[in-house]
Structure 1
Amino acid sequence: MSKDIKIKKGLNIRLKGEADKTISNAPRSRTFSIRPSDFHLITPKMVIKEGAKLQAGDTIFYSKANERIKFASPVSGTLTKIERGAKRVITELVIEAEPQDSYKDFGVADPANMQPEAIKEHLLTAGCWPFIKQRPYHVIADPDSTPKAIFISGYATAPLAADYDFTLRGKEKQLQAALTALSKLTEGKVHVSVGKTGVSPFEGLKDITIHKVSGPHPAGNVGVQIAKIDPVNKGETVWTVNAQDLVIIGELLTTGKFNAERVIALVGSSVKTAKYYTTRIGAEVATFVYDSGLVEENVRVISGDVLTGKQISVKGNLGYYNDTVTVIPEGDDYEFFGWNKPVFDKISTSRALTFSWLFPNKKYELDTNTNGEHRAFVVTGNYEEVFPMDIYPLQILKACMVEDLDAMEALGMYEVAPEDFALTEFICVSKQPHQEIIRKGLDLMYKEIG
């Protein structure tokens, strides 16, 4: 049984540099990195010291707030460096990898014959629990809670995002094991959203409810799908899991190994050959960026998509949750009278001296220039044009800025995550950091309300 979701509000940002449907094995990364900042509101407590030998799956650290939530090594090797910042906060863990991985054996498990608590304990022990996030607050899920439903988006609409129909092909066994396990952790349903066109690996799998989605970005955002299927109200919790993370969970259940393998889409107008690479969580992006080749030297490398990803150096490492690496030109030049002439080579929702609306299928080569500077909020009504959730985006942003908890609750803060405001940030004429504002608002609610 499926239920269609049709999104009308939004904006497709069509960029040059889409990945070809070919997969290559990325060269083995010499070092792998884990950044605790990828796990929001987690304070790490180390269980090993520098120089310790590791197998793939060995616990490196756990959450100070909940010792059951463990974080595992993606490879076998030696922990060579623990980077610390201000107040000795751990900023990065560097692992020098061995040529071949050896795996810690957690034992094969059949989720169909397991109790919910046994499944939870298995995922927690092996370090797979961080793949499960919760709303409200968009943080790692509390293992002591029970969600009313679990949501997975198998349909990506972000600019140049990895195509799940392609990256998950042939992984049906692992997907089914993970979905069966997750179905036992909720009193409700496991909702999986797929594209209306195309053939998804999720179709035909058991223990899930399929929803076919169509429409412009952010139709593929799990937050939009939650809002259309089963919105989050005060006192309720839902869990979300990224589609590729299901494969790692399923691999654990079917083989007993924590296999942090991931298929990455290397995309963007600044790479010579945009295609897919098989690598691992935390790998050096240079291993596949240089394998593909760069069109120019002055580039911005982003771990993630252009709307929600984080800037890293060419010698940086892949983020824990990312399955896309985007390389685009650096926008460090300025146009003379750029604000006062017709614009043909940029995307805009406005029709004032801009013409992208005349060419809806045209692909653009955009750089990182913000085309303006930070200024006070201007009420234009544009946010609502690209925001499909039943929420007032400008009002909720202002409530977060003034830290009005009552207004934030009333306006629907329990439903949102920073990524839901990526498009409003993109079109904002005031150049306000919408995602940062929402993240700070969610952190305040988590601290004050819990």
Structure 2
Amino acid sequence: MSQDIRVKKGLNIKLKGQAALTTAASSRSAFYAIKPTDFHGITPKLAVKAGEEVAVGDVVFFSKGNDRIKFTSPVSGIVKEIKRGAKRKVLAIIIEAKSEDQFKDFGTANPLDLDKEAVLEKILESGSFAYVKQRPYDVIANPADSPKAIFVSSFDTAPLGPNYAYALKGKEEAFQAGINALTKLTEGAVNLAVDGSEATFFSKIENANIVNVYGKHPAGNVGTQIAEISPVNQGDRVWSVSPQGVAVIGELFLTGKYNATKLVALAGSQVNNPQYYSLAAGQNIQSLISENAEVNGSRVISGNVLTGTQIGADDFLGFYDNVISVIPEGNEHRFFGWLPFVGSKSIHSASKTSFAWLNPGKEYTLNTSLNGEERALVVTGEMEKVVPLDIYPLQLLKACIANDIEKMENLGIYEVAPEDFALVDYINTSKIEAQQIIRQGLDLMIKEVG
């Protein structure tokens, strides 16, 4: 069974430097990092000390709030350092990698032959459950919950987003096994969203409700798809898993190994030859960036340019990130940039104050400049044009700023995640940090409502 979704609201931002569908060799990093800050809402309880030896799949830390949720090592090596911040907060566990990996054996199994508890326990023990996130709140799911549905979005419409069909080439069997495992975790459907305009192996996956999605970004966001198929109300739980997370879970059942290695796109206008590289979660990217991108005057982002995290050129790949974006820093100013059409041939705009709307297929070299300062949050109607969810985005932002829980509930806080407001950050003339405001609102709901 399949169904169609057509997303009419949104905005495509075409940037120069899209990764070509080729894979280049990358050297094994000397150091890897597991960062608890990648897992929002998780307070880590360490299971290792500096100097201890770990294999791939060994537990490094677990959630203090739920010890069933474990986080395991992506490589074999020695725990080099426990990096801490203020109040001894654990910022990262640094692992010095060995030349070859040794894998902890979790045992092979056909998930279709197991019951829910057996499937869930294997996923939890391996650390693969970190890939399972929930709505509401956009945090790692509670394994004790029974979600009404599970969603997987097999395509990314964000600027410079990776091509998952290419990234998972050769892992089709593992992806199918992952879908089979997910069917055991919900009484509802496993919904697999595919790009309706492109034929890929995702459309042939069994035991999933195939959803053909058409439209502009954020058509590829799982939140957009959930809102159309299974909206989240108070008390509901809906889980989501990234395509590469599904493949990791599937490979666990096929081989008995936790394999956190994935194809990651190195993209952006500051990259010499944008393409894919095989990297493990938490891998140090210093040599990759220095050899393939212009570092001076650039911003390196782990993730896409709308929702990613700024990192140093000698930092580590984020756990959930499947693209490293390198774009120019916004340290230049447009002369009379506040006037319509000034310098508009070289800039992109969602409004008609530039010529971008005359050439929708043109690729742009955009920098990080905000082109303005933060100002009053006023009613303009612009946010509604890029948020396809059935909510009032401006009013919800105001409710979050005011910490008005009742209004937040009435305005749809349970349906949203920060990424659903990424385009608001890009187009709004008030220059507010909409994603940050939504994240603070969600954190308040977790604290007060749970």
Do both proteins adopt the same fold according to a TM-score greater than 0.5, normalized to the shorter chain?
yes
What is the CA-CA distance between 1:25 and the residue it aligns to? Answer: 2.8
Distance in 2 separating the partners of 1:337 and 1:434: 27
What is the CA-CA distance between 1:169 and the residue it aligns to? Answer: 1.9
Residue 33, structure 1, aligned to residue 20, structure 2: no
Which aligned pairs between 1:183-262 and structure 2 lie closer than 5 A? 183-262=183-262
Structure 2 counterpart of 1:181 = 181
Distance in 2 separating the partners of 1:44 and 1:293: 34
Structure 2 counterpart of 1:45 = 45
Distance in 2 separating the partners of 1:99 and 1:298: 34
In structure 1, the residue corresponding to 2:372 is in which secondary structure?
coil
Structure 2 counterpart of 1:367 = 367
- Write the deviation string for residues 79-135 of structure 1: whole angstroms up to 9, x where unpaired: 101111111110111110001111111111210110101111111111111110000
What is the CA-CA distance between 1:365 and the residue it aligns to? Answer: 0.2
Structure 2 counterpart of 1:345 = 346
Which aligned pairs between 1:103-182 and structure 2 lie closer than 5 A? 103-182=103-182
In structure 1, the residue corresponding to 2:325 is in which secondary structure?
strand
Distance in 1 separating the partners of 2:165 and 2:214: 15
Distance in 1 separating the partners of 2:340 and 2:113: 66
C-alpha distance 59-392 of structure 1, shift in aligned 2 (>3 A): same
Structure 1 counterpart of 2:381 = 381
In structure 2, the residue corresponding to 1:119 is in which secondary structure?
helix
Distance in 1 separating the partners of 2:374 and 2:97: 43
The CA RMSD over aligned residues, in Å, is: 1.0
Q: Do the aligned partners of 1:50 and 1:81 also contact (CA within 8 Å) in 2?
A: yes
The percent identity for this pair of structures is 50
What is the CA-CA distance between 1:339 and the residue it aligns to? Answer: 1.3
Structure 2 counterpart of 1:420 = 420
Distance in 1 separating the partners of 2:334 and 2:181: 54
2:168 counterpart letter in structure 1: L
Q: Do the aligned partners of 1:28 and 1:287 also contact (CA within 8 Å) in 2?
A: no
C-alpha distance 334-132 of structure 1, shift in aligned 2 (>3 A): same
What is the CA-CA distance between 1:34 and the residue it aligns to? Answer: 1.2
Structure 1 counterpart of 2:394 = 394
Residue 289, structure 1, aligned to residue 268, structure 2: no
In structure 2, the residue corresponding to 1:83 is in which secondary structure?
strand
Structure 2 gap ranges (5+): none
Distance in 1 separating the partners of 2:410 and 2:388: 18
Which aligned pairs between 1:79-98 and structure 2 lie closer than 5 A? 79-98=79-98
Given the two structures, how large is their TM-score scaled by the length of structure 1?
0.98
- Write the deviation string for residues 236-259 of structure 1: whole angstroms up to 9, x where unpaired: 100000111111111111111111
Residue 300, structure 1, aligned to residue 271, structure 2: no
Distance in 1 separating the partners of 2:299 and 2:352: 29
What is the CA-CA distance between 1:138 and the residue it aligns to? Answer: 0.6
- Write the deviation string for residues 178-202 of structure 1: whole angstroms up to 9, x where unpaired: 1111001101000000111222222
Distance in 1 separating the partners of 2:363 and 2:106: 47
- Write the deviation string for residues 113-170 of structure 1: whole angstroms up to 9, x where unpaired: 1010111111111111111000011100000010000000001100010011211222
In structure 1, the residue corresponding to 2:203 is in which secondary structure?
coil
Structure 2 counterpart of 1:317 = 316
In structure 2, the residue corresponding to 1:344 is in which secondary structure?
helix
Distance in 2 separating the partners of 1:14 and 1:341: 21
Structure 1 counterpart of 2:449 = 449
Distance in 1 separating the partners of 2:195 and 2:13: 17
2:331 counterpart letter in structure 1: D
In structure 2, the residue corresponding to 1:289 is in which secondary structure?
helix
Structure 2 counterpart of 1:16 = 16
What is the CA-CA distance between 1:2 and the residue it aligns to? Answer: 1.2
Distance in 2 separating the partners of 1:341 and 1:41: 43
What is the CA-CA distance between 1:293 and the residue it aligns to? Answer: 3.7
Given the two structures, how large is their TM-score scaled by the length of structure 2?
0.98
Distance in 1 separating the partners of 2:146 and 2:387: 29
Structure 1 counterpart of 2:62 = 62
Q: Do the aligned partners of 1:168 and 1:201 also contact (CA within 8 Å) in 2?
A: no
Q: Do the aligned partners of 1:155 and 1:213 also contact (CA within 8 Å) in 2?
A: no
Distance in 2 separating the partners of 1:309 and 1:341: 30
Q: Do the aligned partners of 1:161 and 1:324 also contact (CA within 8 Å) in 2?
A: yes
What is the CA-CA distance between 1:341 and the residue it aligns to? Answer: 5.2
Q: Do the aligned partners of 2:293 and 2:326 also contact (CA within 8 Å) in 1?
A: no
